[in-house]
């Protein structure tokens, strides 16, 4: 009896990784932009930071965390692309 080959073809794995990295970059850049706009609106006084306060965290910290998490997602996405090129 022949054992079936359970490995994906290399081209499908590479295409999937490129799709995932593109999605991470898009989501990361979007979160960073939303966080930066939120910080600018909060610092200019157009919106109140207390609206975004969760528990003992201030609203500015929550908005800043959104921008930082976006930067991390983008870095992971760009890191995957760089890894695939080598």
- Tens place of pLDDT per residue across the chain (86 aa): 565 555 656 666 678 888 899 999 999 999 999 999 999 999 999 988 888 788 877 888 888 999 999 999 999 999 988 888 87
Sequence ranges of the domains in the chain: 25-85
> Is residue 64 exposed (0-12), middle (13-18) or buried (19+ Cβ within 10 Å)?
middle
Rounded to whole angstroms, the Cα distance separating 77 from 71 reads: 10
Cβ–Cβ contacts within 10 Å for residue 40, how many?
12
Q: What is the pLDDT of residue 37?
A: 94
CA distances to 42, 51, 77 from 72, rounded to whole Å, are: 22, 25, 9
pLDDT at 84: 82
Confidence at residue 6, expressed as pLDDT on a 0 to 100 scale:
57
Instruction: Check if the beta carbon of residue 21 is closer than 8 Å to that of residue 13.
Output: no
């Amino acid at each position: 009896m022949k054992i079936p080959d359970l490995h994906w073809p290399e081209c499908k794995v590479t295409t999937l990784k490129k799709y995932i990295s593109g999605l991470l970059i898009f989501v990361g850049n979007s979160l960073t932009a939303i966080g930066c706009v939120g910080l600018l609106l909060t610092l200019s006084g157009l919106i109140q930071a207390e609206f975004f306060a969760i528990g003992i965290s201030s609203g500015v910290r929550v908005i800043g965390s959104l921008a930082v998490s976006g930067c991390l997602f983008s870095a992971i996405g760009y890191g995957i692309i760089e890894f695939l090129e080598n």
